[in-house]
């Protein structure tokens, strides 16, 4: 239960140890106290040992609610045993770096370029009250997962809030802007979550990006040869990743809301502490689906605890399985209550880069040449399990549109109604239509209003089905 601090004099003595909002860094520790109101405990610890309490990790930014989880700087490993046994700490773990899921397999072959040229239709069309490129709606992946059949035939377009824990989102992108809620930037400790703040390329010079057509080895959009140097900085290697992920969520579930939670920089690196803050934020702010297009090779007790907390409160957890082309466990996809998502090609085979095996993978979704939103109102194509996961997060939002109280286990079971492929992709490749039909056998169904003419023809404007 949330209460105000009751020992004001004690807090006043300790508050100088709580630093101004800071960003995570190498060597920091994630510290859990044994008591729910742990600030006095961890502050006492740092006064004794010379460390600094940077942030609470399990409360909303600016909140004065009691916390038991903190980010601490300057706590050296040699004293951890002493602090755990004598000073009221329940656990301490290093704040390890985490990376968004990258794919290093795409090359600009003539065949790849030819396929993209066919899809790269920039004609502006209306999509649920916003504008988008026609190629965004007419790509093969949409037909593979039966997206239009589900939207137009079964009349399901999604509901609830999908939290996208990533590099942020272009919050002014015309296709996404009306659907964004409660954005926050944990890398800077400010509201907004706008990833365009990470680059010196501004709207006035964004025209140089008109040649965007694919993604490189770090999932950043490749520009035409004359302007490629604009974003050729390794520190910008994953700029745009979050906007691309959010665009796939919106494509799959166009009437669901998206909560951009910026936990990674433009180089694709974040810290476990930023992800923990995003998870607790999403849980407390009313998100229903968690999209996690990132991974780390080892488990984290606090990451698992935060996900367990979210799932226990009704959230649905989805994560990319990783792009190492192996069956090695990657977290959080490898946790039992997370829907791990592998990548498939447009030929319904496992992508060569995709991780596989039942440890990581619950189901697969298209993840090659996915055309999606990109900063400055543009679009790009993307490869990787990072872009397979949001198809499944969108599918979860479609199921939430049928039953607002859908649980993680129910959605996981319904998502498993998929096209069987190979054993190393568990339940196979997702089929939105099958999942929705299975949902209607589970939950009472009220027929939707008639299908409009736009869905009965080949017209691309689906906006009238709202």
Residues 278 and 261: beta-carbon distance below 8 Å? yes
Query: What residue has token string 């009313």?
Result: 286
- The residue written with tokens 């502490």 in the block is 273
- Angstrom CA distances, 309 to 280, 306, 403, 410, stand at 8, 5, 21, 17
**DSSP secondary-structure letter at 348?**
S
Please identify which residue in the block is written with the tokens 């390329």: 201
- The DSSP 8-state label assigned to residue 88 in this structure reads -
Q: Identify whether 338 is preceded by a cis peptide bond (ω within 30 of 0).
A: no
Residue 386's nearest CA partner among 324, 308, 463, 458 is 324
Query: Residue 215 — φ and ψ, nearest 5°?
Result: -120, 150
What gap in Å lies between CA 289 and CA 316, rounded to an integer?
Answer: 5
Q: At what angle do helices 385-402 and 408-415 cross, to 10 degrees?
A: 110
Q: Dihedral through CA 146, CA 147, CA 151, CA 154, nearest 10?
A: 20
- Count of Cβ atoms closer than 10 Å to residue 219 Cβ: 29
The tokens describing 5, both together, are 């601090």
Q: Which residues are catalytic?
A: 210, 241, 386
d(CA 392, CA 88): 41
Q: Are strands 130-133 and 89-94 parallel, antiparallel or unpaired?
A: unpaired
Q: Any residues with CB less than 8 A from the CB of 433 and at least 6 apart, and which?
A: 146, 149, 150, 153, 154
Dmax of the chain from CA atoms? Answer: 72
- Which residues touch 413 (CB under 8 Å, ≥6 apart)? none
Quick one: which H or E segment has residue 31? strand 29-33
Q: Are 369 and 353 in contact (CB under 8 A)?
A: no
CA triplet 187, 191, 197: central angle to 5 degrees? Answer: 60
Beta bridge partners of 161: 257
Half-sphere exposure of 282 (CA within 13 A, CB side): 37
- What is the C-alpha to C-alpha distance for residues 457 and 461, in angstroms, rounded to an integer? 10
The 3-state DSSP class for residue 312 equals helix
**Cβ distance 361 to 340 under 8 Å?**
yes
């Amino acid at each position: 239960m949330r209460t105000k601090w009751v020992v004001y004099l004690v807090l006043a003595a300790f508050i100088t140890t709580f630093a101004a909002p800071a960003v995570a860094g190498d060597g920091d520790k994630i510290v859990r106290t044994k008591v729910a109101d742990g600030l006095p405990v961890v502050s006492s610890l740092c006064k004794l040992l010379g460390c600094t309490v940077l942030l609470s990790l399990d409360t909303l930014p600016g909140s004065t609610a009691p916390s038991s989880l903190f980010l601490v700087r300057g706590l050296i490993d040699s004293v951890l045993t002493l602090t755990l046994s004598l000073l009221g700490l329940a656990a301490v773990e290093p704040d390890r770096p985490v990376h968004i899921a990258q794919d290093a397999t795409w090359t600009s072959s003539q065949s790849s370029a030819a396929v993209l040229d066919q899809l790269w239709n920039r004609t502006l069309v209306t999509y649920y009250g916003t504008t988008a490129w026609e190629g965004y709606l007419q790509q093969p992946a949409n037909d593979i997962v039966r997206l239009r059949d589900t939207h137009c035939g079964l009349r399901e377009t999604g509901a609830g809030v999908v939290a996208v824990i990533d590099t942020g989102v272009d919050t002014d992108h015309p296709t996404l802007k009306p659907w964004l809620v409660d954005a926050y930037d944990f890398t800077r400790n400010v509201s907004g979550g706008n990833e365009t703040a990470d680059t010196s390329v501004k709207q006035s010079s964004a025209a140089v990006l008109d040649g965007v057509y694919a993604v490189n080895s770090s999932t950043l959009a490749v520009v035409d040869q004359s302007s490629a140097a604009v974003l050729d900085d390794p520190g910008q290697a994953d700029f745009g990743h979050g906007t691309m992920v959010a665009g796939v969520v919106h494509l799959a579930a166009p009437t669901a809301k998206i909560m951009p939670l910026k936990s990674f920089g433009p180089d694709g690196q974040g810290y476990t502490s930023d992800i923990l803050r995003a998870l607790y934020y999403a849980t407390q702010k009313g998100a229903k689906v968690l999209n996690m297009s990132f991974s780390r090779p080892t488990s984290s007790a606090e990451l698992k605890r935060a996900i367990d907390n979210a799932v226990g409160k009704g959230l649905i957890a989805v994560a990319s399985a990783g792009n190492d082309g192996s069956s090695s466990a990657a977290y959080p996809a490898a946790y039992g209550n997370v829907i791990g998502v592998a990548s498939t090609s447009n030929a319904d085979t496992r992508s060569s880069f995709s991780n596989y095996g039942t440890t990581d993978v619950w189901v697969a979704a298209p993840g090659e040449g996915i055309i999606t939103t990109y900063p400055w109102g543009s679009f790009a194509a993307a490869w990787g399990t990072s872009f397979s996961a949001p198809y499944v997060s969108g599918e979860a939002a479609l199921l939430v549109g049928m039953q607002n109280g859908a649980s993680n286990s129910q959605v996981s079971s319904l998502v498993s109604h998929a096209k069987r492929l190979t054993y190393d992709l568990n339940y196979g490749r997702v089929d939105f239509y099958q999942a929705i039909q299975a949902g209607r056998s589970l939950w009472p169904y009220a027929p939707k209003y008639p299908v409009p003419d736009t869905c009965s023809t080949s017209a691309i404007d689906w906006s009238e089905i709202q």
